[in-house]
Chain A
Amino acid sequence: MDVLALEHVTSTQGDFALAAHWAIPEGALVAVVGPSGAGKSTLLGAVAGFVAINAGRVLWQGRDISRTSPSLRPVSILFQDNNLFPHLTVFENVALGLRPSLRLTVAERQRVEGALARVGLVGLGPRKPAQLSGGQQSRVALARVLLQRKPVMLLDEPFAALGPALRKEMLALVAEICRETRATLLMVSHELRDAETIADQLVLVSDGVAHAPAPTQQVLADPSAALRNYLG
């Protein structure tokens, strides 16, 4: 059953416009690919509520969420950078996913510790983000996503600065988390290989259109003209 639907959505900023009209089923792992500047981030921003849409509707389980403010949408999002507050500890950064007031009960503190353990950061709670490696910082952000328990996870290339091996590790972790929480994933990807490893569907964004998702294997075996252009 489709849970997230974009109904004749268009978003215009200056002379840039993006259009989308499709839906994805629950639990799908979708990669968004396409040339830079095509509007991949705009697509995620529209779903998350950071980019205004001029026409159409964003639907969640049939409910219109186009006017809902970001924190009330059923989505968690990781941006390309600035995913952690540098002045807060790792523990506090993760705890924000549970309680934005940071006033936690004992049980909630245990859940935060549990999330840190799940991503392999036991004992690093008191540190500041600057004291961690890039990979560890990504894990902190993922631990927070885990606690947020939102049904849709949006990744706007948060691992772009990591090396290939580390990025693969993170994507594996993302896939595990999505499976555990039965979340639907929409991730922007620059590397088609990354998309291949975890995504079961591909959305190609080009020429101002976010094309409907199609099964990854099928798309790669028989690329459309637009995708062939992108792949070169």
Chain B
Amino acid sequence: MKGIWWKVLGIILVAYSIIMGLLGEVPRLDILNETIRVLYYHVPMWFSMIAMMLLSVIFSILTLGNYSFNRDLWAYEFARTGFLLSSLGLLTGMFWAQFTWGSFWTNDPKLNGTAVTMLIYLAYFVLRGSVEDPQKKARLAGVYNIFAFVMMIVFIGILPRLTDSLHPGNGGNPGFNQYDLNSDMRPIFYAAVVGWILIGLWISQLRSRFIKLSHEE
């Protein structure tokens, strides 16, 4: 992606979601109350994380088809950015859970899914760290990344649907589905999702440029 427009757009969208997220009208609901605003800060992290991981796995598939240093680098950097976003999502979620469910950690399927995703990608980073030869590294990491992505989707997308979850919108507890993102909240939420995806792209681009520069030296 060329040009500066998408970076500016990303900053504007994220700034909009942060400011309006604090100032905008939200419905008054039992238990959730004002904490519903976490929707703007927590959920977009997962959306953008999935987007980053998807990009990462696409570049891994490309690398397996035809190796190039750049493709492998992109796969790695997108996975790193995805990991950063998932850490932020976990932190915001834990903070919210402490005030809503009364504990930082519960054995909720979605939380398990997050923990597993983070462990899988940590393993991916360890694997990359333990191979020297760049081509071999790209191949091994590519294979693992594809496997990891499929298992992540199974874990966070399919298994939770088979069990109850504490999360709003699942398993019959007060949730976002009840009022289905009322019309005041929807634009801010979507702005946050798009904005964070753009910021994620930007971070990955900066990182990969940095690596390329230090590599050429």
**Chain B binds chain A:** no
